[in-house]
Amino acid sequence: MSDKKFERLAYFLPNTFTAMNVGCGFMAILFSMQGQYYKACMFIMLGSIFDMVDGRVARLTGTQSSFGEQFDSMSDLISFGAAPAIIFYNKFLSTLGRAGMVIAFFYLLCGALRLARFNANISKVSSDYFQGLPIPGAAIAVLSYVLVSLEYEIFNNKYFAAFYIAFYGALMISNVPFTSFKKAGWVSKHKKKLLLSIFVIISSLFIYEEVMIPVIISAYVLMSLFNMIINRKKFKGIFDWDEE
């Protein structure tokens, strides 16, 4: 293979994963319209994997580009913004009338604002922490609620569901610092324990994903909120920047 063909393939590869992410979001919407919520949720989970891969492939191949960044943001808005809002609306909020539409739209709007803020401040935000909950995390949290509701009837309360999706929408546009684990000191100090924990988590996901996915994402959110509360002095002004 010639160098030019290899270079073209290298640029094409990460965008292919991004396109697959969009496809997952689209399929999830279609399945939710058919009432197949488990399949819809699984497609969003699969899309989150493609979303993690595309950026890493771009960095490994040295093919980061402005086009790729914008394409990634638009795909995230579809798969992790529009799709979860539609799935959640079809499952819980449609019987609330206009209020249900507004709540679903609120989540989508918060997702769009979260992505726009991230893109605008990408050179300013510390790589240690995310400013607000990243939209893939919010999508997984929202859809994990759908998964739990398929197992336990008690979670089918539409009013609590409405509060739940609004809460995670608000978390996206908040200033709560969510750790990115990129430079966490304990990661390098406890690599063996971390690998064991990852193995246990992955195994549990295969065994009982309907419960373990919400448990994991809820634990991450609660730990981040608790960390912000007990270390509020440390995080004070962490996301304050001078206007240019």
Report pLDDT digits (tens) over 100-127: 999 999 999 999 999 999 888 776 666 6
Whether 93 maps to a domain, the answer reads yes
pLDDT for 191 equals 56
The enclosing domain of 51 has a CATH number of 1.20.120.1760
Whether 169 maps to a domain, the answer reads yes
pTM: 0.86
Whether 71 maps to a domain, the answer reads yes
pLDDT for 199 equals 60
Q: How many CA atoms lie within 13 A of 58 on its CB side?
A: 21
Whether 26 maps to a domain, the answer reads yes
Q: What angle do CA 185, 190, 193 make, to 5 degrees?
A: 140
Cβ contacts of 188 within 8 Å, gap of 6 or more: none
pLDDT tens digits, 40-49: 999 999 999 8
The answer to whether 175 and 239 have CB atoms below 8 angstroms apart is: yes
Whether 46 maps to a domain, the answer reads yes
H/E element, 161: helix 158-172
Euclidean distance between CA atoms 244 and 242, whole angstroms: 6
Q: In DSSP terms, which residues pair with 197 in a beta bridge?
A: none
**What is the pLDDT averaged over residues 1-7?**
54
The position carrying tokens 């943001």 is 73
Higher pLDDT, 185 or 154: 154
Whether 231 maps to a domain, the answer reads yes
Phi/psi at 130 (5° precision): -90, 145
Whether 241 maps to a domain, the answer reads no
Q: Kindly state the tokens that stand for 131.
A: 């400013």
pLDDT tens digits, 198-218: 566 666 666 667 777 888 888
Whether 86 maps to a domain, the answer reads yes
What residue numbers bound the domain in which 227 lies?
3-235
Highest mean pLDDT pick, 66-70, 104-108, 190-194:
104-108
**What is the pLDDT averaged over residues 52-65?**
77
Number of domains into which the chain is organized:
1
Euclidean distance between CA atoms 38 and 105, whole angstroms: 22
Distances (CA, A) of 147 to 45, 141, 210: 11, 10, 5
